[in-house]
Structure 1
């Protein structure tokens, strides 16, 4: 069952559908507009009829004080339980809706109703998280507002989603649309001044978003621009515009078909609901079937954009681009720009760089294999992009703890099957943990399920141990382990660590994480261990003073020391920082980069303070295997007073360090007994008997 609630501007409407759309209608925010209930089956608003049915005995019309929100709905919402956070591996619904659903949804929406532009909200799931911000979707040339349909289920978990619908025969000028959207954001800002307002602008909607932001610099806006049409005057289709204007009506039916192939990639659209793990042959078969089902739907484009509407939209588009470009200097909003590499309508890739240099706070992400209709194509999950760029927040400033959204099942599968799948296969990781009685068992049974838990360990070369560690906690326990990372990782384009909850390595982050009862991953050796030099593998570089013991004791956290062994079975370090500094140009580059980098532990002495950031030169090996051992949990609850003493804290600190060193030595010795340490042996066993995570190893 799919359903929709719509509201805003001159009227509000609610739609719900089961198989073929049937509508439930509520009208609100009428102001001086006329509205009347015709019968139990229809409502007229300004002469526009919407077929529907009554919802129990509740009245369909509420002629209130003109506010956007319905009082009865607000009361119901306050009485409902509201989720504070999402569970790890939650269902984001991505892939359950396809482009065919887009055409089905627009079938009813494109019927002329004589009405003005309006907002609707698709009811794809339950209520969003407590304190969720509002997200307004501003559509492209189609104007239906359904261009976000593939992403509704995920977005509505954490946003109040509203979509702008511009009827087919509407001829509101660009300035009128700007004022319409502007009125909505001002009302929202007045009712929730501490929350950001998100504007997702697709193509034409990108121009509209920029125009609204330029006129409202004091409102906290986050713009997500998807191939914005600000570069329409440099479009490769510009010479065709006069031809379209002169084309006879009887030939126009072919135009939507041509535009559909120019604006988007049909194969990408057909791949949306196809699982990446399928064999290539089966993928091709399913894609062919999807394409066959999709192509007949293209005829409805002639209804979505008839000839007169297309000509009007092209003029509207050019005026929108001119309006937005002339006001870029006034945009103060936070901007995330998504640019397609194969956009055949406008030069989006080049435009992204131009806007980045013109706007004050702009982040760009490129999608090299996608076309203009990015949000309707495979390879783009908008909720994931927002999370990977740390753009989700519920207040004026992003909070790395309270604003974190754990990975969904879709993100988990994609990351560990596609992005790091090859490394995961090569590493064949095996995990051991220690029970309270000292027994070592395979798996994570020895690690407490309830936080706060502080996991402390040795950082392997380039953090190679991180992938399997995070995966195992999610797969076995559905626990999100949040690692403290160098701030440079979070300020750059290392989106994967952001998606999986990396926190800046500061005392404040550790304090907030432990206070929220999280599982936190800490490497006292930091970058000095992860970027160690030749001959330093499995050597700990820890500060002289305990940096975490008393913090853990303050919250009664359980400390779990762990060791990871396997970097020397995966890669060979051939160039360390001492080697790189001697290389002309490259050495100077890294020296300058480290001088400008964010500094940590400047007050610390010794080797741990020498945290030069660089990309080491490595050569791959025929992979061996990665091994993890989580030691016996150390309770600090009830020992707060003891651990306040510096000497007692230091003693525990040294004990943890010693246990990790002993665990490293244990794993290095025991891996010699593993009959499946070699990749070839593991691969054969896996093919014959069991999944990767069940391949046997040594007996602990």
Structure 2
């Protein structure tokens, strides 16, 4: 995949354009059903021009990949462009078309910068795949390992950052062992030998009963206050990059902690229809 081979900035194949229209229709048709679960707040703070970088947590249920673009489109009408793992560039056939229709591009500084120069709404998960494959006890935690590239590219292009946190999607599966357990260490060793990546294990988990069918859970999604990335005159580039990165991470961690408290007190967290009228409203 070239830098923007799957962006609306250039012509796209007919099948990709058809898939884009289909995805938009599905999003519109499902809006009422999604809203009935009352998962989102904070969309009123989104910059109306679409020029902002969404920085989010990744989950093992992947619901953030669907919900964040849905609510941004429903709120301000812009298409979200997710920055994906580099493996997306190796996709072929229908999977490549689906990724292209969804707006995904390979997550590199050049691609992010090009999207921003064309005023696109961009979504990034600094934790990458490390935040998807979770061991028991690692749910709803960030795993950025010092990554600050998102802050650097936002500063360079004058893009505000909107932290967006999701709680609930990690609850769709239950990890069966911890990272430090013998099985956890075995999973890490096998993963490193098979893929060459020490931080991308395949933890053993379950959904409903002993199956991998995801458990129904309510989603709690919050778009945070935009963070201005304009560099003060007396700050060095490195200092300001670290400041923006840390401010974003702290905001997102606070959001996740707050949403976890809301979820704990919510009788509707397992989507029990009998508790719908008593569902906790995720309002600040």
In the superposition, the TM-score normalised over structure 2's length comes to 0.76
Q: Please identify the structure whose Cα radius of gyration is greater.
A: 1
Residue 410 (structure 1) aligns with = 22
Higher relative contact order (CA 8 A, sep 6+): 2
Which structure has more strand as a fraction of its residues?
Answer: 1
Deviations 1:533-567 (A, max 9, x none): 22111221123252222321221111111211113
What is the 5 A alignment of 1:425-574? 428=37, 430-433=39-42, 444-492=43-91, 494-495=95-96, 496-544=98-146, 546-574=148-176
- In structure 2, list runs of 5 or more residues that go unmatched: 209-213
For residues 186 and 240 of structure 2, what CA distance do their matches in structure 1 show?
A: 44
* Alpha carbons of structure 1 residues 640 and 530: separation in structure 2 relative to 1, 3 Å: farther
| Residues 4 and 111, structure 2, Cα contact 8 Å, conserved in 1 | no
Which secondary structure does the structure 2 equivalent of 1:561 belong to?
Answer: strand
For residues 555 and 640 of structure 1, what CA distance do their matches in structure 2 show?
A: 15
For residues 234 and 177 of structure 2, what CA distance do their matches in structure 1 show?
A: 45
Which secondary structure does the structure 2 equivalent of 1:629 belong to?
Answer: strand
For residues 677 and 446 of structure 1, what CA distance do their matches in structure 2 show?
A: 25
Matched, 1:648 2:246: no
- TM-aligned CA deviation for residue 653 of structure 1: 1.5
Deviations 1:601-659 (A, max 9, x none): xxxxxxxxx4326485332365231111111111224x365565311321222121111
Residue 611 (structure 1) aligns with = 199
- TM-aligned CA deviation for residue 696 of structure 1: 7.5
Deviations 1:466-503 (A, max 9, x none): 11112222233221111111121342364443321111
| Residues 622 and 679, structure 1, Cα contact 8 Å, conserved in 2 | no
What is the 5 A alignment of 1:193-212? none
Tell me how large the CA RMSD over aligned residues is.
Answer: 3.5
| Residues 554 and 640, structure 1, Cα contact 8 Å, conserved in 2 | no
Which secondary structure does the structure 1 equivalent of 2:175 belong to?
Answer: strand
- In structure 1, list runs of 5 or more residues that go unmatched: 1-389, 434-443, 600-609, 686-694
* Alpha carbons of structure 1 residues 582 and 541: separation in structure 2 relative to 1, 3 Å: closer
For residues 203 and 101 of structure 2, what CA distance do their matches in structure 1 show?
A: 22
For residues 581 and 635 of structure 1, what CA distance do their matches in structure 2 show?
A: 41
For residues 104 and 233 of structure 2, what CA distance do their matches in structure 1 show?
A: 31
| Residues 61 and 172, structure 2, Cα contact 8 Å, conserved in 1 | no
* Alpha carbons of structure 1 residues 551 and 561: separation in structure 2 relative to 1, 3 Å: same
* Alpha carbons of structure 1 residues 512 and 667: separation in structure 2 relative to 1, 3 Å: same
* Alpha carbons of structure 1 residues 527 and 502: separation in structure 2 relative to 1, 3 Å: same
Q: In terms of mean alpha carbon deviation, does 573-582 or 538-547 score higher?
A: 573-582
Residue 634 (structure 1) aligns with = 227
Which secondary structure does the structure 2 equivalent of 1:612 belong to?
Answer: coil
What is the 5 A alignment of 1:580-591? 582=186, 590-591=191-192
* Alpha carbons of structure 1 residues 399 and 641: separation in structure 2 relative to 1, 3 Å: farther
Residue 5 (structure 2) aligns with = 399
In the superposition, the TM-score normalised over structure 1's length comes to 0.34
* Alpha carbons of structure 1 residues 458 and 642: separation in structure 2 relative to 1, 3 Å: farther
